[in-house]
Structure 1
Amino acid sequence: MFLLALAPILQAQTAPELSVDQVLDRAYQRLTSYRDFGRWQALVVSSQANVDRHWQPEKVRRVTKWMKFDGSLLDEEILEAVEIEKGRTRDITEKYRQQRMERMNRIREEREKAEASGRQSEAGLALGLEDLIPFSDKNRSRYDFRLKGESELNGEQVYLVEARAREKKDFLFEGLFFINRDSYELRRVEITPVKAPAFVREFLLEVDLDLWQERLVMRKIKMKIYGRFLFKSIRRLIEEDYLEYRPLD
């Protein structure tokens, strides 16, 4: 009787741990199970801060907007834009709205010209999901993966998987991936480009992910950028909070 009672405990203690390949297989299977995006829009609050060498903000621009997508960015509806500097807040909504409208018009014109000539526009050269999350068999061969252990993220137990590129090539990213231990849903990505332009000294990207109507969506993006060109240094912190998602009619 004692041995029978002890058996479940012994089985739990000797249960084999998952390998990094098993975790990646299950995470990729979950990634490919999500619904396609289709047409959607998101309410976004973004902030861009120019910072000093101690990474303290000197000037901050904060924008609230609706972003509309249909495979790529279709349009933006600027609700509010403010600039904060030396403790003073200045409304720049109309000025920023006009700037973004002009930029969106240029992007549309470039796409139309590219479609007419049969080439891909620069506006369409966006990185896809598999560029940032290399869990597929094709992309996995470019990296060395390591299961660093388990941790906690926003109250969830997660696997920590580290990816390091085997070669320094353009459009490759490496870093940490936070994968829910029970559902194998990807919760956070912390990555940096393997090969950055010469003037970029530091570039870090952090993305928090969530589910919306069985679609994988972004909840928060953080970017830390440090560049140096000739005698000028640029340091920026960028954050975007995706507060609400809706289908786009």
Structure 2
Amino acid sequence: MTKDRVVVVTGGASGIGLGVCRLFARKGHPVAMLDIQEAALETESAILRAEGAKILTRKVDVSDRESVEEAYAAIRQELGPIAIVIANAGISEGIPFDDISVATWQRMIDINLTGVFHTVQAALPDMREARWGRIITISSQAAQSGAMDRAHYAAAKSGVIGLTRSLARELAAHGITVNTIPPSVVATPMAEQGIAAGTFPPLDVISQHIPIPRPGTPEDIAAACNYLASDGASYVTGQVLAVNGGMFIG
């Protein structure tokens, strides 16, 4: 894959997003790390820059279109046209359905689904002009199997899958592929927070129910992103690439 293609990763300061940023940066791509966690962005980007990577960071709230567009303007000016987008930013929380407030429901949709809409739509002019682009969304196994006490999360991530499939059809003629990865259990700070809050089982307990008996890693998801972003995946679009150790097969 050409190494001067600019990669944008939302939620790039930790977890899956950080794993993706590290992989693409170490392969020589200019990488824009976007996240709401400004301090973590600076810490992690400094490590990559010390390795020689070309990195741009911006504090971005993906639910705010103006925030996304301002970041993209900086990316185009400092790194160049956007070629690859990994729409990863998201939130999760365990709440019984009866206790989900309207505000909580809307926040989940705004970040996990509308955030993907903003992230992708704002990048399309560059990809259309180049007649080449790779869009990879990060959905969730919860969208495929449902999730206890996470109806709002599963609904938002189901929307991501539907959006991905629709865009794959709409954008194929422009040389742009669109695919989604729905992870299951991944060892990330978000999972650790859920375990600490008592809303997510310990990873060693969940691992007993996974055919490959371990939690996934950010590196596992990053490797799949690398494939989907490659020239070798030019005939792959509209697909749900489950990287889940066999936890959900369907």
On whether the aligned pair clears a TM of 0.5, the verdict is no
Rg larger for: 1
Richer in strand (by share): 1
TM (norm. structure 1) is 0.28
